Amino acid sequence: MLIVAVVGPTATGKSDLALDLAQRLGERAPGGAEIVNADAYQLYRGMDVGTAKVPVAERRGITHHQLDVIEPEDDASVARYQEAARADLEAIAERDARAVVVGGSGLYVRALLDAMDFPGTDPEVRAALERRAEREGARALHDELVRADPAAAESIGPRNVRRLVRALEVIAITGQPYTANLPRQEYVRPTVQVGLDCDRATLDARVAGRVARMWDEGLVDEVRDLAPRLGRTAARAVGYAEVLPLLRGETGEDTAREAVAANTRRLARKQMGWFGRDPRVHWLDAQAPDLVERALAVVDAADAGAIAAPGDAPVRRSLGS
């Protein structure tokens, strides 16, 4: 059965649409419908308010997968997520149910849906590269990557030490360019992607509303409770990274709150850039009063083998344009 993926930038209403689609599509499928999360930070147990995780009581009785599956002190792994989430898709298919994937973490969406291999790691190679980064600086690693894989070097840039180390590690392990291991736009299972988009002014207003709700729902208390357990990856999540300095007394509440809003807006632009490069996404206006019907029309067209819903070609993105 065709997988339905709801993608796009944060604060556009993906979770609500995924619930609506799962409810409606589940009425048609013998086994109902189940939702698979593809948001990297919603994987973390206890990171609820700051990730806008749908509370259990509001999930309408629909089974959700890949929520609360790792501890805050652990580092998320795209490779581990791919293995576990693909197993969920397999089990959902065996139950003759419809899978609805939802999330804004582009790499996780691609790892789940597309052909993407993860080369292994070599602790010795990685440690040597990390020592070089400390001794020679990130620029030296970037220069080496320019010679070995110019496309990867351009994509990563000269400041992201973690990704530079990983790219050079993969090259050393596989003997191939790092870009040869990047995901291909090739579904591993039949899929249709529905993207939610809205203009910048509307999105910024939605972000402001979300941040206000997060504050009212206790974001600061949530971060305070989790702070002793937040690992390197979890501590970088938007909403958590900005509140931690507040708890340390390094900034004021108004400054922290504005930083959360500003970084959420920045995240939305980045997500739109990622998903906007995928020509397979069928874009819909997040504000459309008949959004659910439009999304269902896209799914029905895909089920029927059509490229797009009749008379409704994929909407071009407005963010970042």
pLDDT digits (tens, 9 = 90+) for 229-242: 999 899 999 999 99
Q: What is the pLDDT of residue 309?
A: 38
Query: Does position 319 have pLDDT exceeding 80, yes or no?
Result: no
Q: Do the annotations mark residue 9 as ligand-binding?
A: yes
Say whether 26 sits in a helix, a strand or coil: helix
Q: Do the annotations mark residue 8 as ligand-binding?
A: yes
Q: Confidence class of residue 6 from pLDDT cuts 50, 70 and 90?
A: very high
Mean pLDDT of the 22-39 span: 98
Mean pLDDT of the 225-230 span: 98
**d(C-alpha 281, C-alpha 195), whole Å:** 6
Query: Does position 312 have pLDDT exceeding 50, yes or no?
Result: no
Q: Do the annotations mark residue 10 as ligand-binding?
A: yes
Q: Do the annotations mark residue 50 as ligand-binding?
A: no
Partners of residue 145 on adjacent β-strands: none
Report the range of poorest mean pLDDT among 12-21, 87-96, 148-157, 177-186.
Answer: 177-186
Q: What is the pLDDT of residue 182?
A: 72
Instruction: Please state which CATH class domain 3-115+187-303 belongs to.
Output: alpha beta
Query: Does position 225 have pLDDT exceeding 60, yes or no?
Result: yes
Q: Do the annotations mark residue 231 as ligand-binding?
A: no
Query: Does position 314 have pLDDT exceeding 50, yes or no?
Result: no
Q: How many CA atoms lie within 13 A of 247 on its CB side?
A: 17
**d(C-alpha 260, C-alpha 242), whole Å:** 6
- Per-residue model confidence as pLDDT tens digits over 269-280: 999 999 999 999
Query: Does position 179 have pLDDT exceeding 90, yes or no?
Result: no
How far from 280 is each of 18, 27, 194, CA to CA, in Å? Answer: 18, 26, 9
Q: What is the pLDDT of residue 117?
A: 83
Domain definitions of the chain by residue range: 3-115+187-303, 123-181
Q: Do the annotations mark residue 12 as ligand-binding?
A: yes
- Per-residue model confidence as pLDDT tens digits over 40-93: 999 999 999 999 999 999 999 999 999 999 999 999 999 999 999 999 999 999
Query: Does position 119 have pLDDT exceeding 90, yes or no?
Result: no
**Architecture, CATH, for domain 123-181:** Orthogonal Bundle (1.10)
